[in-house]
Amino acid sequence: MRKKLTALAYTVTAAAMTAVTALTASPVVAATGPLAKPRIAAHFDLARGQMPENIALEPDGTADVTFAAARQVASVSTAGVTRVLATLPAPADGGVHTPVLGFALTTGIARAHDGTLYFLYATGTSDLTGLWRLRPGGTPQRIAALPADGLPNGLVLDEHRGRLYIADSVLGKIYTVSTKGSTGGEPVTWSAAPDLSSTGFLGVNGLKIHDNALWATNLDRGTVLRIPFGRDGGPGPVRIRATGLTGIDDFAFTGRGDEILAALNGPDTVVRIRRDGTSSTVLTAADGLQNPTSLALRRGTLYVLSAAYSTATDPNLLLAPASIGRSRR
């Protein structure tokens, strides 16, 4: 099993690295203001498919994560105790028709205030690909089907509007799905702007809501995008806020205006992106990063997930004190 998963990791990320290294070199300046005393709080098992892809935080600091290749949602305490909350059914074909990646995977995750978890599953099959929900003490349920030829990836919840926003990294679209009722209903395309498209691998990726706008990253293009909400809740014109961020995946706002911390998957770094689009490195592989995929900031602590897709060594959860502002939930 370990040999199979390691081979899978190398195969998947070989394509990823080919795509991201084709981007223009990043204008990230020399490392300034590194985060002090980072520590690895949890090590995960690559042989069991525990490649942590995305994160949502509980009020007590517990991290709810998706394990991509294991098709699982799990909780991880700050002491490093991991508990599997749900394992999704495997597709009949094993996931070989999942676009671009060729294996079934759980991706984005979001948490509502009542403890309900929403997460995405991509399988390349119409019966399983979509948005799933797990209520406290319940079992996972698919509440909205998504196109089997796409790759649902980034996810953000807007409880005020009663909507979830979903990034499809292959089809280059952002969908909305209602959180009301027993099922979410049909997904609606919110934006299909050209800036969301891929250039051959994965396009629109991470999503966050901030300052009356939906912000997104595009992995292939190495960009951070801001899409303002119109009066009717629809998308305004896309604005590119930062460029040259090779392999950018998920991100979080620091609480200092539009300042961002972002995971750069291939380069094994976390960078701070300023309002003017310039950036500096704050964490590197020397701190324990192994293809960082996702991060979150809560009460002065930065959480960083590393999936080890290409390094095939030590997928983990890293914690670092971060006196750079507080995140907006």
CA–CA dist 240, 40 (Å, integer): 33
User: Which carries the bigger pLDDT value, residue 278 or residue 34?
Assistant: 278
* Arithmetic mean of pLDDT, 280-294: 97
CA–CA dist 37, 15 (Å, integer): 33
Is 80 exceeded by the pLDDT of residue 23?
no
Which residue pairs, CB below 8 angstroms and at least 24 apart, start in 156-162? 156/108, 156/110, 156/207, 156/208, 156/209, 156/214, 157/110, 157/111, 157/112, 157/118, 158/209, 159/112, 159/113, 161/233
Half-sphere exposure of 110 (CA within 13 A, CB side): 24
Residues 6+ apart with CB under 8 A from 294: 52, 53, 54, 55, 65, 206, 249, 250, 263, 304, 305
Q: What integer pLDDT is reported at residue 33 of this predicted model? A: 53
Residues 6+ apart with CB under 8 A from 132: 88, 118, 119, 120, 121, 140, 141, 142, 143
| Reported pTM | 0.90
Query: pLDDT band at residue 18, thresholds of 50, 70 and 90?
Result: very low
User: Which carries the bigger pLDDT value, residue 203 or residue 324?
Assistant: 203
> Tens of pLDDT along 138-188?
999 999 999 999 999 999 999 999 999 999 999 999 999 999 877 778 999
Residues 6+ apart with CB under 8 A from 181: none
> Tens of pLDDT along 245-267?
999 999 999 999 999 999 999 99
> Tens of pLDDT along 223-237?
999 999 999 999 999
- In terms of C-beta density within 10 A (0-12 exposed, 13-18 middle, 19 or more buried), how is residue 279 classed? buried
Query: pLDDT band at residue 22, thresholds of 50, 70 and 90?
Result: very low
Q: What integer pLDDT is reported at residue 322 of this predicted model? A: 84
Q: What integer pLDDT is reported at residue 183 of this predicted model? A: 74
Q: Cα angle vertex 159, ends 189, 86, to 5°?
A: 85
> Tens of pLDDT along 32-88?
356 778 999 999 999 999 999 999 999 999 999 999 999 999 999 999 999 999 999
User: Which carries the bigger pLDDT value, residue 240 or residue 324?
Assistant: 240
91-108 CB burial, b ≥16 within 10 A, e <16:
beeebeebbbbbbbbbbb
Q: What integer pLDDT is reported at residue 325 of this predicted model? A: 44
Query: In angstroms, what CA-CA distances link 254 with 3, 162, 272, 273, 302?
Result: 39, 24, 9, 10, 10
Q: Which of 23-27, 34-38, 207-211, 325-329 has the highest mean pLDDT?
A: 207-211
CA–CA dist 33, 112 (Å, integer): 33
Q: What integer pLDDT is reported at residue 185 of this predicted model? A: 80
Q: What integer pLDDT is reported at residue 269 of this predicted model? A: 97
Give Cα 66 to chain centroid, integer Å. Answer: 9
